[in-house]
Structure 1
Amino acid sequence: MKRLFLLGLAALLTLSMLSGCSQPATDMQLDKEKDGGTNTLGVQDTIQPVASKTATSVGDFKAQDLAGNTVTKDIFSNYDLTLVNVFTTWCSPCIEEIPELNEVYKEMADKKVNVIGIVLDVNEDGKIDSSKMDKLNKIIESTKAEYMVLLPDDVLRTGLLKDISSVPQTFFVDKDGNIVGETYLGSRNKSEWLKVIETEQKNLGS
């Protein structure tokens, strides 16, 4: 019985490691991992909130898209629901999930559901790291991502994204810029995300 328990635990840990990455503690660790190195894969012990219980709004942010355009919370206004996927350029499960999210984006575009990405590690200190930006552009090109990807500003970094320590992490925002529904840790495929969206739409009353 003990052996079966240990085997089951090992399988669970392996599955967790394949679906998400924990944030690196230092830039030195990140440098070791990039360019073909090993990612810091982590097991999720607790669900990390994307905002405190009293902070339901994404805030009046002024983020930047990959073309350098300013993006505000008005990006949410034309959709009943927006899936927001937070990722990094060094997280393999994050990158592998992008084509799946892109398929979700294309399928749901005419159903008032949008998809956007927020990349955490390209401008961590408020300044764009050119090497990481180049890596991000290559990722976008190779995955053929069509949905918008944002570089967060200080409002997002010190508010909405402050407590995120594991990626990918995904949450939903309504047309008024309010966080709704559940927070989802780890990567999922297209069919899994479509089921999640269906649930979130029902909960929203869409």
Structure 2
Amino acid sequence: MKKLASLLLVSMLALSVFTGCSQTNSMDLDKNKDDDTTLGAQDTIQPVASKTAAVGDFKAQDLKGNQVTKDIFSNYDLTLVNLFTTWCSPCIQEIPELNDVYKEMADKKVNVIGIVLDVNENGKIDKDKMDKLNQIIDSTKAQYTVLLPDEVLRSGPLKGVNAVPETFFVDKNGNIVGKTYSGSHTKSEWIDIIQDELANLNK
């Protein structure tokens, strides 16, 4: 019995390496670049009350230097917002899955955007991290929009994030809706989650 329990524990720890990376402070992300610590099971969910009710009037920047506001949500019933860093391997492994979600759900009025937390964490773009981010986008062939957050986002919906990847949903009016999801997921898992979130949105 003890051997079985030990085997299960080892299996769970091995799986957790691929679900997420922990961080102690959203303003000190780089210290954890080699830390692929467990977040728990892939279906770990936190109540949306842990976030603000709306994303706010932010002015973020996309990877081409264009300004992006909350208008990015207005043409979609639901937008999946995925938070990640350049040093988190489960985050990077999840990007192709999210890209497939983006392509499959676009005609269903569902969008996907990414927010990278460690490239401009002090209000200034770190060139080395930006280069790494561009390499990640090229290698994963991500087609969805990736944003560098401004202070409005950092002090609002991104405040208190202590592990990545973390994902939440936003409606067309810029309101955070549904549940917050910790850890990485496959395309099929995200499709199921989105269907549930859409059903709850329309109730």
The answer to whether 1:29 aligns with 2:31 is yes
Shift in Å, 1:19: 1.1
1:36 maps to none
Query: Which AA in structure 1 matches 2:37?
Result: G
C-alpha contact (below 8 Å) 1:81/1:174 kept by paired residues: yes
Structure 1 stretch 173-182 or stretch 41-50: which is displaced more? Answer: 41-50
Report the identity percentage.
68
Task: Show CA shifts across 1:99-150 (max 9, x none).
Answer: 1111110111111000000000000101000000000011111111110000
1:126 maps to 123
C-alpha contact (below 8 Å) 1:84/1:172 kept by paired residues: yes
The answer to whether 1:44 aligns with 2:46 is no
Which secondary structure does the structure 1 equivalent of 2:161 belong to? coil
The answer to whether 1:187 aligns with 2:184 is yes
Q: Aligned-pair RMSD on alpha carbons? A: 2.0
C-alpha contact (below 8 Å) 2:166/2:181 kept by paired residues: yes
**Which runs of no fewer than 5 residues in structure 1 stay unpaired?**
34-38
1:17 maps to 17
Alignment equivalent of 2:167, drawn from 170, 176, 191? 170
**Which runs of no fewer than 5 residues in structure 2 stay unpaired?**
none
1:117 maps to 114
Task: Give the Cα separation in 1 of the matches to 2:126 and 2:48.
Answer: 24
1:158 maps to 155
TM, length-normalised to structure 2: 0.90
Alignment equivalent of 1:138, drawn from 135, 138, 145? 135
Task: Give the Cα separation in 1 of the matches to 2:178 and 2:69.
Answer: 21
Relative distance call for 1:196 and 1:171 in structure 2 (3 A) is: same
Task: Give the Cα separation in 1 of the matches to 2:30 and 2:178.
Answer: 36
TM, length-normalised to structure 1: 0.89
C-alpha contact (below 8 Å) 2:74/2:174 kept by paired residues: yes
Task: Give the Cα separation in 1 of the matches to 2:31 and 2:142.
Answer: 28
C-alpha contact (below 8 Å) 1:49/1:163 kept by paired residues: no
C-alpha contact (below 8 Å) 2:102/2:112 kept by paired residues: yes
Task: Give the Cα separation in 2 of the matches to 1:115 and 1:184.
Answer: 14
- Equivalent pairs, count: 198
